[in-house]
Structure 1
């Protein structure tokens, strides 16, 4: 009987079907094929998240690429490989926030092009753009810590614990910041209800 050899293609298919804990563990051990699986698996989500944080700027791909470079370097230090998804999202968040801070204090809402639905009327498009501009203005009026918490929770879907860990503040502080941010936004957006 001959020995059975696993081809590179069979191995790649096997690792692609494995759960995050196995894939991240292999990648942490320096397996570039396993890391490529993580890149394929999470790039779309990381791009969407970065796009929301950066208001659809051209920096999205750069932020995601920077996040993966950082992930590759820091992956051996990841304590729980099963949490690689939230870990990658935190890195993406950090990179996007760093990019925003470096660029300028305020994003230009007028530069954001919203795709028009074929069924939407021009007046609805104007109303929708005005609502987005009002939300953007409301967010820009929030203190930075409240805005970061709100974006990470409402757009990024991060848990209170993930936000607390990312911003290095107590969970109770996250709850308070989010409560104040939500209250301020509700007051400022009352006319858009």
Structure 2
């Protein structure tokens, strides 16, 4: 397993070994020992869930208040997504920066995001299944969103897709609006939370 940090501090690309034989494929996108050695922390499991998306479905840009925060590990078990991570932590050296990668059910790479980072993706194929391991349970009272089409972010959504976006995400504020209204987590609060875990 290879784990390397993305251009956004606190986000990691995980490349697991994929084992093939006459029965099919076996892969483990998360192992505690390798993950902890690479990131300096273990991933506590608060909730596991998955989504099934039509081609062009955009989910995100989502994050949780810090505290409590929510770290997540995301992988694809069927289909393909363009996955995007955005640093939403005010005061962070990479605030407002993003990185992206394609996740699919061929090489089974995964992405890990620490608390305070925003997450979004677009499904590149019908019936794409995205699986999540979250450090905390879903809590709608602390869930937040940023407009995934905020021109100031300039996220790399591919051309030629008819985007399907929830009403919640369409109504989300821009990054500048969220910063101005105090909606975003601070880098200091995220570091303090990481030290406690």
Higher relative strand content? 2
Higher relative helix content? 1
TM-based fold match above 0.5: no
TM range (shorter): under 0.3
Q: Which has the larger radius of gyration?
A: 1
TM-score, length basis structure 1: 0.27
Q: Which has the higher contact order (CA 8 A, sep 6+)?
A: 2
